[in-house]
Amino acid sequence: MDVTSAVKKFHGHAEFESETMLIRADDIVYDSDSGIVTAGGSVYYHHFLHNEQIWCDRLVYDTDAGTGKWYNVRGETTPRTVNRRGVLSGTSPFHFEGQWGERLDEEHFVLYNGWITNCKMPRPWWRLKGPRFDIVRYESAKAYKSWFILRGIPLFYTPYFYHSLQKQPRHSGILNPNIVPRSQRGVEIGLGYYWAINRSYDLTYRFFDYNTSAFEHHVDFRGKPGARTDYDFILTGVQDREGDPAQGDRKFSGLNIYFVGHSDLGNGWNANGMVNYVSSFGFRQEWSESYNEAIGSEIHSVGFVNKSWENYTFDTAVSRLENYESNEVQPPGSTAFLRNAVLIHKLPDADFSGRDRQIWKNVPLWFSFYSEAGLLYRSEPIFDANNNLVDTFQTRQFTPRFNFAPHVSSVLHLGGISLAPSMGIDETFYGESQSVLAPGSATYPYPYEFQANGASITRNARDFSLDLIFPSVARVFNKKTIFGDKLKHVIEPRATYKYVTGVGEDFNRIIRFDEQDLLANTSQLQLSLTNRIYAKRGDTVTEIFTWMLMQNRYFDPTFGGAVLPGAPNIFAATADLTAYAFAVGPRTYSPVVSILRTNPVNGLGLQWQADYDPLFHSIVDSSLSVDYHFWKKYFFSVGNFEAHTNPILTPYGNQYHFRTGFGDPQHRGWNAGIDVAYDYRENLLQYMTTQVTYNTDCCGFSVQYRRINVGIRDETKYYFSFSLANLGSVGTLRTQDRLF
């Protein structure tokens, strides 16, 4: 070697190293004037900053420009791990091999006549093979005229493939096609396009063809016009050309509009909106991909602006609530279907409230208030027992309601007992009221019918309440058990007396728009007893068991004459105790409400809420759920929801929900699960989903069978998905519909 020459030659176990890279080879030639390194024979190249390793037969590299060429090349680099729901994560290096490779600049690498994969070598599960691959670090990876090969079998050919390497990947392009077999509407074929308009907006359009019997259009437009504002607008429309053969070829064309948005207006002001409009309940049940959506009878839309400061809050909102009572019905002699739903509008409604604020310093007296003003509307069809339309309840389009409710409260301590008295008034003006028709005057299933009469009414209510919080009784058990090192049992008794007057029989003249209109006369005592068990595990204290029992005693069984015998009666005094109505006549006591929650060991949780009615000497409604996760990848849950009280109050129902399986989205090997909803009363399997997934080190295969039998819909569907680690997935199984 001539040390005075600009060209230096090294032979045998030669090595060249700089601050950013290392080159090893049998022969290395370095020209210090041009910065060119030429290496041959068992060449090894390592870029420290990129964590990139390359092996080749020959290398020509420009150390100044960071460019070079590799011949008969193979290499690997650390992948960017993607931790996002629905994307399989992997840690295997990104591996590539080719006839030759070229670095055009520090970040741009091109591979010719080769293949790439992110599977473990030497037998990768998949490879993408083609004449050229363009990879720009942190930007994109492109493949041209390539074949996707799975276990040596060419599956499909693509003239162009693009994958974004950005942290938030967005690139316009054609979406993967959807092909889903459906038992009720034939084969579903879907195509779509994603348009990345700019950094702030994008649009997705999908078209679905259901065996030519129906066409579906799905548009999703997202935007972020500013740093503090974002929205998502989704439009779904279906042209039902031939109708559902299972429903006598009845057609279910329709429209679903969904919008959600938020904006921080500054200075403490916020604007939020959510719009959900469905043209008909039949359309929703026929075409919805979600079981929970298909059975959901309430559809809410609301937009509001609010601000909170110090002890005050101001809200103004417009809202629309549509509550379907059953599927649409066809009146006798009519070809049209009627929306059998309760519709409530607030256009607009504003409230201003103040939280508890101490009136005088050192005096335990607090003042709070609530005020509201709004223009409201309510309508609903009225049917007889044979489901024939007999009348319509409807208010004026803009019915005013004004409310002002100030309250004064205090806290007193007598020995170990705390007393919290509160008193206030509730003044509410309604621009319209309703009349109660006498029994027998209508063919309504219940003996009473209500009609809006246009007359205004004012509610002048006075209320008083007294909370008695008794001393807790506790005992500590210093014996180590499977639940913890120590246990502590606490018993908390409590009593609350409430008195409301001034409403009387006018209660049934007040139109029901929301829970504010349920205030009725009452004189009642609520007794509750709560048992709690705490477990100390090391330095952590956890509540592992809670059981609360509550019951109301009513000293005014008619609630000031508001009770209508033989009809469902719902008052604020009854609705704040249980979600189920229980008064079909005068009541002197409520059901006993039992709420039990426990998680005795890690992974196990149980919750049971039940109402025992002494009038029927039985449990009239029950909600039970048990969840258990064990050995990290096994899960099990079961739930039962039952109601069998007076049918005037609540229709009898008894449903079971069962879910079990093993695995998780990232578990290598086999994963399987099943999700079932069964209606015991109808002897009907309403919903079932079974999914089997097999994940390798670099890819995953998922197959899902789904059955929906709700209302007018009874069909089965099959879904498939193939996932590539850190890249994404293709197929018909959506992320939100996966069991794992």
Strands 229-240 and 214-226: antiparallel
| 517 secondary structure, DSSP code | G
Residue 150 in any domain: the answer is: yes
| 337 secondary structure, DSSP code | P
Residue 516 in any domain: the answer is: no
Kind and range of the H or E element at 2?
none
Number of domains in the chain: 1
Give me the torsion for CA of 732, 734, 739, 740, rounded to 10°: 100
**Which residues does 219 contact at the CB level (< 8 Å), separation at least 6?**
203, 204, 205, 233, 234, 235, 236
Provide the residue type at 312 as one letter.
Answer: Y
Strands 94-103 and 108-117: antiparallel
Strands 389-394 and 417-430: unpaired
Residue 276 in any domain: the answer is: no
Where residue 460 falls (left for φ over 0; alpha for ψ -120 to 50; beta otherwise) is: beta
Pair of tokens at residue 586? 């005068």
Neighbours of 191 (CB within 10 A): 14
Residue 145 in any domain: the answer is: yes
Pair of tokens at residue 367? 């003042």
Residue 156 in any domain: the answer is: yes
User: 410, 403, 398: which is closest to 519 by C-alpha?
Assistant: 403
| Cα 705 from Cα 724, distance rounded (Å) | 22
pTM of the model: 0.84
- Give the domain extent around 92: 7-164
Look up the CATH number of the domain holding residue 63: 2.60.450.10
Binned average pLDDT, 10 residues per bin, the chain of 740 residues:
70 89 94 93 92 94 92 89 76 92 92 94 93 89 94 91 74 83 81 92 94 89 94 95 79 92 94 93 85 86 94 95 76 61 93 94 94 95 70 90 97 92 97 79 57 92 96 93 93 97 94 95 97 93 96 96 89 90 92 96 94 93 94 92 84 93 91 95 92 94 92 85 86 83
| Cα 543 from Cα 533, distance rounded (Å) | 6
Kind and range of the H or E element at 281?
helix 281-287
Residue 153 in any domain: the answer is: yes
Neighbours of 333 (CB within 10 A): 5
What three-state secondary structure class fits 338? strand
Strands 449-452 and 298-309: unpaired
- How many helices and strands, by DSSP H and E, does the chain display? 3, 43
Q: Quick one: 447 exposed, middle or buried, by C-beta within 10 A (0-12, 13-18, 19+)?
A: middle
Cis check: omega of the bond before 348, within 30 degrees of 0: yes
Pair of tokens at residue 558? 């008619």
Pair of tokens at residue 101? 């490779």
608-615: Cβ within 8 A, 24+ apart: 611/578, 611/580, 611/582, 613/582, 613/645, 614/589, 615/587
**Contact (CB, 8 A) for 215 and 208:** yes
**Contact (CB, 8 A) for 643 and 580:** yes
**Contact (CB, 8 A) for 36 and 62:** yes
Residue 138 in any domain: the answer is: yes
**Contact (CB, 8 A) for 394 and 452:** yes
Pair of tokens at residue 162? 């693009």
Q: Quick one: 613 exposed, middle or buried, by C-beta within 10 A (0-12, 13-18, 19+)?
A: buried
Cis check: omega of the bond before 122, within 30 degrees of 0: yes
Give 724's strand partners. 699, 728
Task: Tell me the backbone φ, ψ of residue 288, rounded to 5 degrees.
Answer: -65, 140
| 480 secondary structure, DSSP code | -
Model confidence pLDDT, tens digit, residues 296-323: 888 999 999 999 999 999 999 999 999 9
| Cα 730 from Cα 72, distance rounded (Å) | 32
What three-state secondary structure class fits 440? coil
pLDDT of residue 265: 94
Provide the residue type at 196 as one letter.
Answer: A
Give 383's strand partners. 389
Pair of tokens at residue 451? 């009609």
User: 548, 545, 547, 542: which is closest to 486 by C-alpha?
Assistant: 542
| Cα 304 from Cα 322, distance rounded (Å) | 18
Neighbours of 667 (CB within 10 A): 16
Kind and range of the H or E element at 286?
helix 281-287
User: 670, 673, 736: which is closest to 700 by C-alpha?
Assistant: 670
| Cα 556 from Cα 499, distance rounded (Å) | 10
**Which residues does 576 contact at the CB level (< 8 Å), separation at least 6?**
none
Provide the residue type at 98 as one letter.
Answer: G
End-to-end C-alpha distance for the chain, whole angstroms: 63
User: 547, 545, 548: which is closest to 527 by C-alpha?
Assistant: 548
C-alpha distances out from residue 375 to 350, 378, 431, 519, Å: 9, 11, 9, 19
Residue 373 in any domain: the answer is: no
